[in-house]
Amino acid sequence: MSPENNRGFTLIELVTIVVVLGVLGLFTFSFIDQAVKTYAMGTKQRVIYQDASYIMERMTREVRDMGNLGTCSYAAFDNSFTFNKVHRTLEGVDNLSITFRRDTGTNIMYRDGNVPPSPAIGGNVTLFRVERGQVGVSLPVCNCPFSITLTVHDGDQSVTLGSRVTPKNVGSGNYSDRCFNGDYEDVIQ
């Protein structure tokens, strides 16, 4: 045989190319698979976070409009929290008493206080807890914050949010003792 007729590949060269391409393909597809899983996880986490932040924002806005607290002592509320608002809203025209409650069987959050039926404001809520004041500490009425903790869980993802809220309508009513957890104080002259 003359050298001009040897135009093909040897078996060893073909096997080497197949092995190298296989390894490169494996790394490429595992990288793409990991990127797709990360994207899906991030998308699911974003949706859960949006649900949790909507529920938390809804509750903190209404708790800020809570009426006079009287004395401030430590109290903890699990799965249900009832209070009276000062100002009426379109949703609560007939009733200033508001209850946020978690149905422990379905893990759905409800806002009661308006005309029935109570609307669901979120789902997949596995923890809802409100704490008032601090354990063993006697605080003045104006320093009486509420701590709200909320966990939304969906599949293998969960988001826990916490917020401290000081109602804006507490105190004696003359606005001189509205100190908002010591962060700032209303001074009306």
In a domain, 80, yes or no: yes
Give pTM, 2 decimals. 0.69
Q: In the prediction, which pLDDT does 189 show?
A: 47
In a domain, 126, yes or no: yes
81-84 LR contacts (CB < 8 Å, sep 24+) = 81/128, 81/130
What angle (nearest 5°) sits at the alpha carbon of residue 70, between those of residues 172 and 169? 50
Give the whole-number percent of the chain exceeding pLDDT 90.
32
Mean pLDDT, rounded, for 115-127:
80
Q: In the prediction, which pLDDT does 153 show?
A: 92
Model confidence at 175, in pLDDT bands (50, 70, 90)? very low
pLDDT greater than 90 at residue 34: yes
pLDDT single digits (tens) 130-146: 988 765 555 555 557 78
pLDDT greater than 80 at residue 93: no
pLDDT single digits (tens) 142-166: 557 788 999 999 888 899 999 988 7
In a domain, 32, yes or no: no
In a domain, 4, yes or no: no
In a domain, 29, yes or no: no
Range of the domain at 121: 38-182
- CB-CB neighbours of 160 under 10 Å: 12
**Into how many domains does the chain fold?**
1
Mean pLDDT, rounded, for 7-32:
90
pLDDT greater than 70 at residue 28: yes
- Here the tokens at position 26 are 């494996």
The partner residues of 111 in beta bridges, in order of sequence, read: 100
Question: pLDDT averaged over the chain?
Answer: 79
Give alpha helix (H) positions in the chain: 11-64
CA-closest candidate to residue 133, choices 160, 170, 105, 96: 170
pLDDT greater than 90 at residue 169: no
In a domain, 89, yes or no: yes
In a domain, 14, yes or no: no
Q: What is the 3-state secondary structure (H, E, C) of 40-93?
A: HHHHHHHHHHHHHHHHHHHHHHHHHCECCCCCCCCEEEECEEEEEECCCCCCCC
Q: In the prediction, which pLDDT does 87 show?
A: 76
For 16, 32, 177, the CA distances from 23, given in Å and listed in that order, are 11, 14, 71
In a domain, 155, yes or no: yes
